[in-house]
Amino acid sequence: MSDTPQTAFRNWLLLCCFMVLAMAVVGAVTRLTESGLSITEWKPVTGALPPLTEEHWQQEFALYQKTPEFSQKHFWMNLEDFKKIYVWEWTHRLLGRLIGVVFAMPLLWFWARRQIPSGYGWKLVGLMVLGGAQGFVGWYMVKSGLVDRPSVSHFRLAAHLGLAVLIFSLMWWIALDFFNHPIAAPVPKSLTQHGWGMLGLLALTMVWGAFTAGLDGGMIYNTFPRMNEHWIPPELTFNAPVWINGLHAPAAVQFIHRCLALLTAAGILALGWRARDTALAAMVFVQTGLGIATILSQVAIPLAALHQAGAIILLALLLRRLHILSHS
């Protein structure tokens, strides 16, 4: 592959990565504005168009009025209020469709012109399969909030976010293969092991962040570093197994997310110092600050959305460092 097709191939992957990042941020806003259950049906093709007439809007609103979220939380809404939350969920789903098109069409183009580098064809097909699976996982998540509860399952929310992050990570890793990194001297094995350990810890932190969001755990204990007057919230009792509280009690879930976040920040900061990666180290401070600000603001939507974006950017920088280390 010549330089020009290779550059186009890399830029296409970078565009898709950016779109996945944007979708994650829109997904965060959708969750924070309680918009995710406003569309009660999954129509992969016809659902691409929003309601175009007043009659269609009334039909969509009537379907929403049958949901537990409306009867238990949003019973005060009129049609105009409903339109405000509908647009976020519709935009989120539209972005998902656009990502599918932006990924699939150039892939076919590169394939037809035999410009897919050797060994990458099956990887890209695998990514396309994961993208299709993400649509099913998203609907599986939404379904959990349409039966007998006014919110989605926080486990399904974590699965939905986790799959998006996995798709982003794999796509970003492939794109990194087409950057010319400076040749570095061999690095200690312990440094690479440090990096992979931090990747696992960051992934775990992000999962507990999704649990916290799904349980509205950020709406309580809006102080830092203590949780009100407590270092350990009383909800994290030992009367029941800790893992039950840590997965289901909002305050306990927030506490675990805090602990994981601080441990992850310290570990990645140490990695940045050892690898002399200024961008990675700086992003640790930015993301930690965004997390603290989000808690102190009682989850202000702009800060919470930036916090989600920051997590993915931190992940991208960590993966970049791991990619360099693995090729040293």
Task: Indicate whether 45 and 68 sit together in one domain.
Answer: yes
Stated as kind and residue range, the H or E segment containing 322 is helix 301-326
What is residue 183's predicted lDDT score, i.e. its pLDDT? 59
What is residue 196's predicted lDDT score, i.e. its pLDDT? 97
- 3-class DSSP assignment, residue 64: helix
User: Which tokens is 129 given?
Assistant: 């399969």
CA 107/CA 116 separation, integer angstroms: 8
Range of the domain at 296: 185-328
Task: Indicate whether 192 and 175 sit together in one domain.
Answer: no
User: Which tokens is 62 given?
Assistant: 């009537």
Task: Indicate whether 106 and 119 sit together in one domain.
Answer: yes
**Domain end marker among 146, 180, 214:** 180
**Domain end marker among 141, 157, 180:** 180
**Domain end marker among 147, 164, 180:** 180
- 3-class DSSP assignment, residue 130: helix
What is residue 205's predicted lDDT score, i.e. its pLDDT? 97
Name the domain count of the chain. Answer: 2
**Of the candidates 167, 204, 195, the residue with the CA atom closest to the CA atom of residue 18:** 167
Beta bridge partners of 230: 227
Distances (CA, A) of 228 to 179, 223, 239, 261, 296: 47, 6, 22, 19, 11
**Of the candidates 175, 160, 237, the residue with the CA atom closest to the CA atom of residue 13:** 175
Task: Indicate whether 148 and 194 sit together in one domain.
Answer: no
Task: Indicate whether 162 and 214 sit together in one domain.
Answer: no
Task: Indicate whether 8 and 148 sit together in one domain.
Answer: yes
Tokens 């290779």 correspond to 6
Other Cβ atoms within 10 Å of 46 Cβ, number:
7
What is residue 238's predicted lDDT score, i.e. its pLDDT? 62
Q: Which amino acid is at 300?
A: A
Cis peptide before 5 (omega within 30 of 0): no
26 close to 91: Cβ distance less than 8 angstroms: yes
Task: Indicate whether 200 and 273 sit together in one domain.
Answer: yes
Task: Indicate whether 52 and 115 sit together in one domain.
Answer: yes
Task: Indicate whether 199 and 318 sit together in one domain.
Answer: yes
Q: Which amino acid is at 12?
A: W
What is residue 45's predicted lDDT score, i.e. its pLDDT? 81
Task: Indicate whether 175 and 190 sit together in one domain.
Answer: no
CA 30/CA 41 separation, integer angstroms: 16
Task: Indicate whether 123 and 267 sit together in one domain.
Answer: no
Task: Indicate whether 218 and 144 sit together in one domain.
Answer: no
3-state helix, strand, coil in the chain (%, to 5): 70, 0, 25
**Per-residue tens of pLDDT for the chain, all 328 residues:** 556 778 899 999 999 999 999 999 999 999 999 999 999 998 888 788 999 999 999 999 999 999 999 999 999 999 999 999 999 999 999 999 999 999 999 999 999 999 898 899 999 999 999 999 999 999 999 999 998 888 999 999 999 999 999 999 999 999 999 987 665 667 888 999 999 999 999 999 999 999 999 999 999 999 999 999 999 888 776 666 666 888 888 999 999 999 999 999 999 999 999 999 999 999 999 999 999 999 999 999 999 999 999 999 999 999 999 999 988 7
